Structure 1
Amino acid sequence: MRAVVAPEPGPASVLELRNAPIVEPSSGQVLIRVKAFGLNRSEIHFRSGVASSGSFPRIPGIEATGIVESAPGGQFAPGEQVVTMMGGMGRSFDGGYAEYVTVPAAQVIAFTSALPWAQLGAVPEMLQTADGSLRVGLRAETGQSLLIRGGTSSIGLALTVLAKMRGMTVYSTTRRPEAVARLRSIGADHVLIDDGSIAAQVRRLCPDGVDGAVELVGVDVMKDTLRAVRPGGVVCFTGMLSNHWAIPNFYPMDWIPNGVRLTAYSGEAADLAPETLQDFLDAVAAGRAVIPVGKTYRLDDIVTAHEDMEAGRVGGKGVVVIDDRAG
């Protein structure tokens, strides 16, 4: 099979397209013929050598979407449409940047959809993270208000889509004025230009503060995000687009306003219920939701894809399509 290999840590140019053996699955594993896979910033962290886990050489990729080729344990039937994600993919064992991937059956989720693979490939990790941030991190409720700090990221765009499906009022941030129309087109009610301080902007629109916020930029702006939320509201730390992960000399009483709650979210395949995945894909097919795909690439374009991710040129979820044919 053709696969992308990171032989060692380094810039995007270290990624190499090679021929690699297909790993034959055991009874507890599933061999998936990959149709498409999403691109994630955590794969940049791994490739760069700053991730907290993983080894080289490695086929990267924390997610993949495709067709079951073989499942010796009988958990899935050949030909079933499936997604897989996390669980050590692309770090402790070879991941989704390949024509085939072998993964534990426990991290495979089946679905049925006639949507194009370029759309389906964007969904698994993006949906799992956005859904978990709302459901677990915030315990969001219909009709509440939500601030998304980092709204033009793939997770930020997915959060907007899911929040509007829940009847929420969405405040979304971007550093780029040219992105305002994109955010409004997927349902954001208020778009705020982020100059590093947005709490005052939020309070002008919502004087008591929003009910909840998802922090996707990082701890360098989280103190400001906390001040945009009402007492009793919640901030969920989900992402770190700025690559700032830790708070030096953290003093909670200075950082966290009275009554505001701070949580976090990171998940695995088990955290995405099959019915959540299927309901979302059905909503997209029916025109009630959208999948915020930015750019699509081929396997041969992986270096360009990583360079685009790092430069912020994708404009949504980046997807590599290996085979866009049905079946």
Structure 2
Amino acid sequence: MMRAVLVEEPGGPDVLRIREVPRPEAAAGQVLIRVEAFGLNRSELHFRRGVGSSGSFPRIPGIEATGVVVAAPSGEFAPGQTVMTMMGGMGREFDGGYAEYVVVPAHQVIPFRSELPWEQLGAVPEMLQTAAGSLRVGLDAQRGQSVLIRGGTSSVGLTIAVLAKLQGLTVYATTRRPEAVEQLRSVGVDHVLIDDGEVAAQIRELVPEGVDGAVELVGVDVMKDTLQAVRTGGTVCFTGMLSDNWTIPDFYPMDWLPNGVRLTAYSGEGTDLSAATLEEFLDAVATGEAVIPLGRTYRIDDIVRAHEDMEAGAVGGKGVVLP
């Protein structure tokens, strides 16, 4: 048996209930992982509310987990190997990481070696995958360019800033809260903008031709303004929906898209994060070249409060739970 968080029906944070359930067993092509830490994600909030695009109930939620291999019947990993896993149907099509143990397909398991504490490691998988993919795939960002992060104090926004500075980019990032300015500066942001709904005008005062690229993490309600902040030939990557506004009614491209500004999106899978990229990032953290934007740490018994904090925007970075 094991302890896990079970959601039997959609609803508020109180539908997250701690249960004793049978410990899963790995079949051929699968890996059984003892979960040492798992991160909190807004997509789990959407799933819990019943507004996710996929999934079924009852379900153990959680789209990521970090821990130690217990068994891999087909021999892909040795017992005791430290690993991360994410997405691929976790916490929606099959039971996810909000538990003491999880079984996942072997192809979505990423091995790593690190002496960092579990609470830091548990923050990394989905956050790093999304941030790295937004820069590499969504923007094709190049050294020496400039990037605007709309929604900079989110865990992904903070990680994008860290990675962008490692890649030699000039970073602009937004926040609605003046008290968050120092947090953004602490991860290397060059220019912090207070988001009053008209960020493009602020950018054009600093960079008259516009920035080379922007990552939209807030949602479609501000994306038109974000597009106006980017130079001709530049790119906006739509990655996040912190405002929970997902679609554009009566979208008219000629009105929304400035001449020559490209609009892309990024919503990668766990397999998009390579072991080499993961190790490079963890090594950079270990040597002090990079930081993990860890917010609050919780125990599994605090999962309701953790979701309440996530809904209220009170985590202050990546939320992590230690089972």
Residue number in structure 1 paired with 2:270: 269
Write the distance in 1 (CA, Å) between the matches of 2:114 and 2:129: 18
> Secondary structure in 2 aligned to 1:309?
helix
Residue number in structure 2 paired with 1:66: 67
For residue 169 of structure 2, what is the amino acid of its counterpart? M
C-alpha deviations, 1:119-160, integer Å up to 9, x for none? Answer: 000000000000000000000001110000000000000000
The answer to whether 1:103 aligns with 2:87 is no
Residue number in structure 1 paired with 2:41: 40
For residue 268 of structure 2, what is the amino acid of its counterpart? G
Write the distance in 1 (CA, Å) between the matches of 2:282 and 2:96: 24
**CA apart distance, 1:205:** 0.7
Write the distance in 1 (CA, Å) between the matches of 2:313 and 2:261: 31
Residue number in structure 2 paired with 1:321: 322
Residue number in structure 2 paired with 1:239: 240
Write the distance in 1 (CA, Å) between the matches of 2:305 and 2:11: 15
Residue number in structure 2 paired with 1:6: 7
C-alpha deviations, 1:259-301, integer Å up to 9, x for none? Answer: 0000000111110011000000011001110000000000000
For residue 245 of structure 2, what is the amino acid of its counterpart? H
Write the distance in 2 (CA, Å) between the matches of 1:318 and 1:195: 26
Structure 1 unaligned spans of 5+:
323-327
**CA apart distance, 1:174:** 0.3
**CA apart distance, 1:27:** 1.0
Within a 5 Å distance, the mapping from 1:54-93 to structure 2 comes to: 54-93=55-94
Residue number in structure 1 paired with 2:121: 120
> Secondary structure in 1 aligned to 2:10?
coil
**CA apart distance, 1:177:** 0.6
The answer to whether 1:280 aligns with 2:281 is yes
C-alpha deviations, 1:70-94, integer Å up to 9, x for none? Answer: 0000000000000000000000100
C-alpha deviations, 1:167-209, integer Å up to 9, x for none? Answer: 1000000010100000001100000010111000011011110
TM-score by length of 2: 0.99
Residue number in structure 1 paired with 2:51: 50
> Secondary structure in 1 aligned to 2:237?
strand
> Secondary structure in 2 aligned to 1:66?
strand
Write the distance in 2 (CA, Å) between the matches of 1:220 and 1:43: 22
Write the distance in 2 (CA, Å) between the matches of 1:17 and 1:203: 50
Write the distance in 1 (CA, Å) between the matches of 2:74 and 2:288: 37
The answer to whether 1:172 aligns with 2:169 is no
Write the distance in 2 (CA, Å) between the matches of 1:228 and 1:269: 31
Residue number in structure 2 paired with 1:311: 312
Within a 5 Å distance, the mapping from 1:129-140 to structure 2 comes to: 129-140=130-141
> Secondary structure in 2 aligned to 1:72?
coil
Write the distance in 1 (CA, Å) between the matches of 2:281 and 2:60: 29
> Secondary structure in 2 aligned to 1:94?
coil
Residue number in structure 1 paired with 2:188: 187
**CA apart distance, 1:246:** 0.4
Residue number in structure 1 paired with 2:303: 302
For residue 223 of structure 2, what is the amino acid of its counterpart? M
C-alpha deviations, 1:43-76, integer Å up to 9, x for none? Answer: 0000000011100010000000000000000000
Aligned residues with identical type, % of pairs = 75
Structure 2 unaligned spans of 5+:
none
Residue number in structure 1 paired with 2:148: 147
Residue number in structure 2 paired with 1:325: none
Q: Alignment length, in residue pairs?
A: 322
> Secondary structure in 2 aligned to 1:141?
coil
Write the distance in 1 (CA, Å) between the matches of 2:9 and 2:297: 25
For residue 40 of structure 1, what is the amino acid of its counterpart? N
For residue 214 of structure 1, what is the amino acid of its counterpart? V
The answer to whether 1:201 aligns with 2:202 is yes
Write the distance in 2 (CA, Å) between the matches of 1:287 and 1:7: 43
**CA apart distance, 1:251:** 0.4
Residue number in structure 2 paired with 1:213: 214
> Secondary structure in 2 aligned to 1:158?
helix
Write the distance in 1 (CA, Å) between the matches of 2:294 and 2:276: 22
Write the distance in 2 (CA, Å) between the matches of 1:21 and 1:91: 18
Residue number in structure 2 paired with 1:292: 293
Q: CA RMSD in A?
A: 0.4
**CA apart distance, 1:222:** 0.2
